[in-house]
Amino acid sequence: MRTIAYLHRHGDIELDCELEFEPGQTASEIDPPYPPAAYLISAKVGGVNILPLLGNDLIGQIEEGAIWSQD
């Protein structure tokens, strides 16, 4: 797993996000396939981490956007 930076725009607000990213894997003889995953660890506005204030829906949108940005 590696740490990635991702800028997420939510309306007029820009969130400077940091996420743990795990790339997906294709199937092998030993392991099943799995999709990529991202886990939000901070979301800053003006240098202040507001992650505890974010709802699950917005966190999901940020994590999904970060995954797509890695393609």
**What are the structural domain ranges in the chain?**
2-69
CB 16 within 8 A of CB 34: no
Q: How far apart are CA 35 and CA 69, in angstroms?
A: 14
44's tokens:
């800053």
pLDDT in tens, 1-21: 899 999 999 999 999 999 999
What are 21-67's pLDDT values in tens digits?
A: 999 888 888 888 889 999 999 999 999 999 999 999 999 999 999 99
Strand partners, 19: 4, 40
